[in-house]
Structure 1
Amino acid sequence: MSIPRLYVEADLAEGVDVPALPGQGHYLGQVMRKGEGDSVHLFNGRDGEWRARIGAIRKDRATLVPEERLRPQAATPDIRLLLAPLKRDAMEWVVEKATELGVASIHPVLTTRGVVGRINHERLSTIAREAAEQCERLDLPAIAPAQDLHAALDAWDGTPLFLGHERGKAPSLASLLPGRVPPLGILVGPEGGFTKPELDAMGRRHFVSSAALGPRILRAETAAVAGLAVLQALAGDWTVPS
């Protein structure tokens, strides 16, 4: 049977008990049918990945005991996704796939034509954690609180930000990446597109560049995943031999 892989918040060190997070005891005991002494793999975003055993388990509570570090912590390329919040299923899908693609942070931005005005931060964080456990990355992406687009641009640190152009009237994203290294970001707007004032505001920012994501019109969730894949393939950790 497969060995469960779990994200924990506590520090990881040999022989030092680690409490499971809420829900993980139930998952181990009732879903995975694991018991005391069974193996698990643990990571916390700081200390690499560890082989551990279940020290104790009762109902929803479990204690985990790290025994051996399997992988050292590796840095995640600082690739960021800014996007207008989508409807629940689409937003959760984007967070899951962005986590699998290795995004470092996700920044929901509120726009004039956006159809969603708030996000369930706790739910999205859970989606990201479960995706990280499944895809074997060693950390979680940061998920920022939703913020007005203009406020987000005002607070931006100058990192190059590629605006996914909805109709291809811009240089391709791939053509803009040679020689670039993280930190890098991509911005994807709502299904209805950005308004002219929003586009004008972005055009005044020296760090924003329009980038085409192909000749077809993409749904917002497709554009986000496609853009991240191009960034990782040409400027991220896909270029590093495994």
Structure 2
Amino acid sequence: MGAGPAGLETALTIALARPDVDVVVHDRADRLGGQLCTATASGTRPGWSRLLRYYERQLARAGVQLRLGSEVSDALGMPTVWAAGAVEEQAPAGRVTSTRFLTDRSLRPSRPVVVDDGFGWWPALSSVELAFDRGAEVVTLVTAAPSLGAAIPADARAQLLRRLRGRALDVLPLTEVVGSTPTGVTVRSNGSPGAREVHGDAVVQVGLRTALPAPDHADWAVGDCISPRRVAHAVAEGRELGRRLARTPD
């Protein structure tokens, strides 16, 4: 259950090792990929698109059945691996989640404020880049992290800075949002006793992701449904579980 990276890797590993076993992948979404779909939305990280195409080809060759738009109850009665992932928490009133911003092409603010979750990871950075690609004049990034892209690898940060060169990006590090206003948010910098307003015509909120825990009828769980993690970790865990299940007697 779940067509994100953990579920896809688990399914593919089992199917390749045990061609005698029928493997079916269910997902309530209408396309496979899970968080990979969101990661590809900015258009600046083509490696994720290539990974999705890889899974599409290999799953078809291995004979894995894909049942998209399928609810959980459709898989009852079968040995089940739960890989339903995690969901981004709902944004406060007057803001949009980063997931919606990345996937909804109709959102084209000219002066957005992007509020990071403090991890300095790709959801906020992709939102910044996509805002510029959609014609934004100025983007303000509010982050509790010490710098722009604090958690991404050094080589990726260098590429990011090259892509952002010449863009009107205002980064507010070590800063947290303490309230909302009709035209933006109220922020306070680390160690500063006072708050100030940051204005924009849209506020994009990167929310914490909450795991979708496995139900009682699931036999195994893997990936973000245990705890949100990076794609590489989800893939590695999916492969390890797939290998273990492929060795399990029928």
Calculate the TM-score normalised by the size of structure 2: 0.25
Q: Which has the higher helix share?
A: 2
By percentage of residues, which structure has more strand? 1
TM-score normalised by the chain length of structure 1: 0.26
More contact order relative to length (CA 8 Å, sep ≥ 6): 2
